[in-house]
Amino acid sequence: MIDADQLKQQAIELKLHGIQAHWHELTQVQYPWLETLLNWERQERKQRSLERRLSHAKLGRFKPLTEFDWQWPDKIDQKAIHALMHLDFLTGANNIILLGGNGVGKSTLAQNLGYQAVMHGHTVLFTTAANMLNDLAALDSDNALRRRIKHYAKPALLIIDEVGYLSYSNRHADLLFEIVNQRYEQRSTLVTTNRPFAEWNDVFPNAACVVSLVDRLVHHSEIIAIEGKSYRMKEAKEQATERRSRQQGGAK
C-alpha cells in the first residue's frame, strides 16, 4: 500500500486543496479508501483531458491505419509512415510533408497521425488550408487576428490539409507564412499537398513570401511522396458496380 507521504504528494499534484487542508484529520485513521479516491480522481481527469483534446483536434471521421490499403498506391513508404506513428518528430519540432495526387490517402494518414498524437497526450488541430486561411482573412481587428493566429500556432501538432487545391491571394500567403513562422523550430506542422514546392508559386501567385514559407516548412522536415490513382475513385466504381448488380438481381 502507498504510504501517507506518497498519497499527500498525489493530492498536491491533483491540486485537491480541501483534502490537503484536512490531511492530518484524514490520516489519523486507516486510509486505503483515500488511495482509491485519488486513483479515481486521477483517472477521471486523464479521461476528461483525452476527450477534451480529441474534441479540440477536430479530426473528423477517418479510416484507421489498420484498414489502410497499402497495396493500392503505386509508391508509398509504409515503413516511414509507421515510424512516424512513434511521434519522435514532435520531440524535435520537425515538420511532415505528405505529397501526392488526389485520393491517395494523404488526409487519412494525417488524421491517423493526429489521433496517435492526441492519444499520447499532445494537443493537435486539424484544418484544411482553405478553412484556416479564410478564417484568418475574415478578421478585421488586429487584436482578433493576433488571437486567432495564436490559436493555430499553439497546438503541439498543426495539420494543414489540402494545400495546393486552390489558389490564394497575397494576404492568404502572408497569413500562412505567419503561422508557419511562429511554429518554426518550436512545434511540428504537418502539411498535405498535391503540388510539389516548385509549383507553390501557382498556389500563391505573386506572393513575395513563398520562398521563405517553403524554406521554413522544408527545414527540419520529412517529405513522404505517395504516387498512385485515386482510391476514392476506386471505391466509387466498386460501389456503382455493386448497385448495378443488386438492381439486376432485383429485376429478375
pLDDT tens digit sequence for 176-209: 999 999 999 999 999 999 999 999 999 999 899 9
CATH code that applies to domain 65-234 = 3.40.50.300
Say what the pTM is: 0.81
Q: Are the C-beta atoms of 88 and 213 separated by less than 8 Å?
A: no
pLDDT of residue 40: 72
Q: Is the pLDDT of residue 239 over 80?
A: no
pLDDT digits (tens, 9 = 90+) for 208-228: 999 999 999 999 999 999 999
Ordered strands of the 95-100 beta sheet: 124-128, 157-163, 188-193, 95-100, 221-226
Distance CA 147, CA 197 (A): 29
Question: How large is the average pLDDT for residues 40-48?
Answer: 79
Task: Return the domain boundaries, the chain.
Answer: 4-48, 65-234
